[in-house]
Structure 1
Amino acid sequence: MVDTGDTAPDFTAPLANGDVDSITLSEELGDGPIVLAFFPGAFTSVCTTEMCSFQDQLSEFEDVGATVYGVSRDTPFTLNEFRDQNDLSFGLISDLNKEIIDAYGVEMDFDDLGVYGVAKRSVFVVDADGEVTYAWVSDDPGVEPDYDEVREAAAEAEAVEAAD
Structure 2
Amino acid sequence: MKRFLIASLLLSLSFASFSQEVNVGDKAPVFSTLADDGSTWNADDYLGDKFIVVYFYPAAMTGGCTKQACAYRDLKTEIDEANAVVVGISGDNIEGLQLFKKANHLNFPLLSDANGEIAKKFGVPLRDGGTITREIDGHSFDLVRGATASRWTFIIDKNGTIVYKNTDVDATKDSDEILKFIKNNS
What residue identity is the alignment partner of 1:5?
Answer: G
Alignment-derived partner of residue 151 in structure 1: 179
TM-score (norm 1): 0.84
Alignment-derived partner of residue 20 in structure 1: 38
What residue identity is the alignment partner of 1:10?
Answer: V
Does residue 137 (structure 1) correspond to residue 167 (structure 2)? The answer is yes
| Unmatched runs of 5 consecutive residues or more in structure 2 | 1-20, 129-144
Q: Deviations over 1:81-133 (max 9, x none)?
A: 100000001000100111101001112337xxxx9841111110101110011
| Unmatched runs of 5 consecutive residues or more in structure 1 | 160-164
Structure number with bigger Rg: 2
State the 1:55 CA deviation: 0.5
TM-score (norm 2): 0.74
Alignment-derived partner of residue 59 in structure 1: 77
The DSSP-based 3-state class of the residue aligned with 1:20 is: coil
Alignment-derived partner of residue 162 in structure 1: none
Alignment-derived partner of residue 22 in structure 2: 2
For the aligned residue pairs, the C-alpha RMSD in angstroms reads 2.2
| Distance in 1 (alpha carbons) for counterparts of 2:161 and 2:181 | 12
| Distance in 2 (alpha carbons) for counterparts of 1:96 and 1:156 | 34
List 4+ stretches of structure 1 deviating above 6 A.
Answer: none
| Distance in 2 (alpha carbons) for counterparts of 1:72 and 1:88 | 15
What residue identity is the alignment partner of 1:32?
Answer: K
| Distance in 1 (alpha carbons) for counterparts of 2:107 and 2:26 | 29
Query: Does the CA contact (< 8 Å) of 2:92 and 2:147 recur in 1?
Result: no
The DSSP-based 3-state class of the residue aligned with 1:13 is: strand
What is the aligned length?
Answer: 151
- State the identity %: 32
